[in-house]
Amino acid sequence: AGTTATADAAAAGGALENLDTSNTLGAAGSNTSQWVLGPVVNTYIRGRLLGKGGFAKCFEMTNAKTQRVYAGKIIAKSTVTKMRARQKLRSEIQIHASLRHPHVVQFEHFFEDDEYVYILLELCDAQTMMELVKRRKRLTEPEARYFMVQILDALEYMHRRCVIHRDIKLGNVFLTRDLQVKIGDFGLAAKLEYDHERKKTICGTPNYIAPEVLSGKNGHSYEVDVWSVGVVLYTMLIGKPPFETTDVKTTYKRIKANIYTFPTNVSISRAARELIVSTLNATPEQRPRLSDIWHSEFMQGPVPRCLPRSAMESEPTAA
Ligand code: ADP
């Protein structure tokens, strides 16, 4: 198959205009894809399936020349025909491509052919914190701090750039093989255009949804990410999300009424509990800011410099 140029991350916004034109050629359907820019041809070889999402299938993709391996999200254009879905994908690419931080999944390249959009991301080959916590049941407080440090660092960076992630959850905290955190999935993220802007709607349902998003009255802003940090911390330490029930309606009722408990069979420190209670405040303005979380008593405790690989399976002996 012939191939023609599309674009890289820097031109992501423009290139996506091609989403509904069909004037690019590609190697769709085969297990290689090519990205051509001027005289440079990049050939990627598709490897194993990493996972499936709402629209995307994610494969290991190896650059044939450099042998570097990426996570390649492949999205069939036929599944994003609606204006809204296209706009959402465009926004995800634009926001993600604009970020560069050690604890954010690096957006590497973006290209497309007739049938597919390809997003090449930094490969995170130790799954996400969701699988980690499931395997471990729950984490120790020093481990939770270790992950919090990196999550907070990434969130501070995003908020400084006026980006709200809006879907911080264990499943979007990706892990590298040396257990470094990489925040990913900007599918629900928003960029604020001016100070004090309030977002009224989210196109999609965040997993750890904040009460102000459910009520929808005064809009929402950066505080929704602080709320999710509270849910993440609770889940790391207790082993299950605070508002989870078997049906969504009941869960939403509990979120709105701020009903959750600390199970008596799990012991957590007073400092951890205080931080969770303050971040899960129903009133967004009363939640701590990210800088307040850094200064909380819980965050002053010992933080491991790194975690051993064995932490994937069992509690580290000297964490
Ligand atoms: P979702 O639609 O569930 O939010 P995505 O479409 O972003 O998920 O990705 C689908 C799946 O691909 C994920 O659940 C994960 O298993 C895998 N995946 C996504 N990004 C990466 C990455 N950077 N490294 C490794 N695996 C990834």
With tokens 């960076």, the residue in question is: 157
Nearest CA to ligand 1 atom 13: 51
Structure tokens at 5: 């140029």
**Would you call 224 exposed, middle or buried from its count of C-beta atoms within 10 A (0-12, 13-18, 19+)?**
buried
Per-residue pLDDT of the chain (319 residues; tens, 9 = 90+): 333 334 343 334 334 444 433 323 344 456 777 777 666 678 899 999 999 988 899 999 999 999 999 999 999 999 998 888 899 999 999 999 999 999 999 999 998 888 999 999 999 999 999 999 999 999 999 999 999 999 999 999 999 999 999 999 999 999 999 999 999 999 999 999 998 999 998 888 888 999 999 999 899 999 999 999 999 999 999 999 999 999 999 999 999 999 999 999 999 999 999 999 999 999 999 999 999 999 999 999 999 999 999 999 999 886 4
Buried/exposed 40-54: b ≥16 CB within 10 Å, e otherwise: eebebbbeeebeeee
Distance CA 204, CA 49 (A): 25
Model pLDDT for residues 242-277, shown as the tens digit of each residue? 999 999 999 999 999 999 999 999 999 999 999 999
Nearest CA to ligand 1 atom 14: 51
Buried/exposed 275-289: b ≥16 CB within 10 Å, e otherwise: bbebbbbeebeebbe
Residue 139 phi/psi, 5-degree rounding, is: -110, 165
Cα–chain center distance at 222 = 15
DSSP code at position 29:
T
58 CA distance to ligand 1 middle (Å): 6
Angle at 311 between CA 310 and CA 315, to 5 degrees: 110
Structure tokens at 132: 């980690």
Q: Which of 167, 178, 247, 292 is catalytic?
A: 167
Q: Which atom of ligand 1 sits closest to the CA of residue 187?
A: 4
Count H helices and E strands in the chain, helices first.
Answer: 9, 10
Angle at 141 between CA 139 and CA 146, to 5 degrees: 85
Buried/exposed 99-128: b ≥16 CB within 10 Å, e otherwise: bebebbbbbbbbbbbbebbbbbbbbbebbb
Angle at 287 between CA 284 and CA 293, to 5 degrees: 145
51 CA distance to ligand 1 middle (Å): 6
Q: At 313, which helix (H) or strand (E)?
A: none
Annotated binding site, which residues? 77
238 CA distance to ligand 1 middle (Å): 25
Tell me the pTM. 0.89
Residues with CB under 6 A from ligand 1: 50-54, 56, 58, 71, 73, 105, 121-124, 174, 184-185, 187
Model pLDDT for residues 18-67, shown as the tens digit of each residue? 443 332 334 445 677 777 766 667 889 999 999 998 889 999 999 999 99
From residue 253, how far is each of 203, 259, 276 by CA, in Å? 21, 8, 19
Distance CA 75, CA 111 (A): 11
Q: Is 167 noted as a catalytic residue in this protein?
A: yes
Nearest CA to ligand 1 atom 5: 53
156, amino acid identity: E
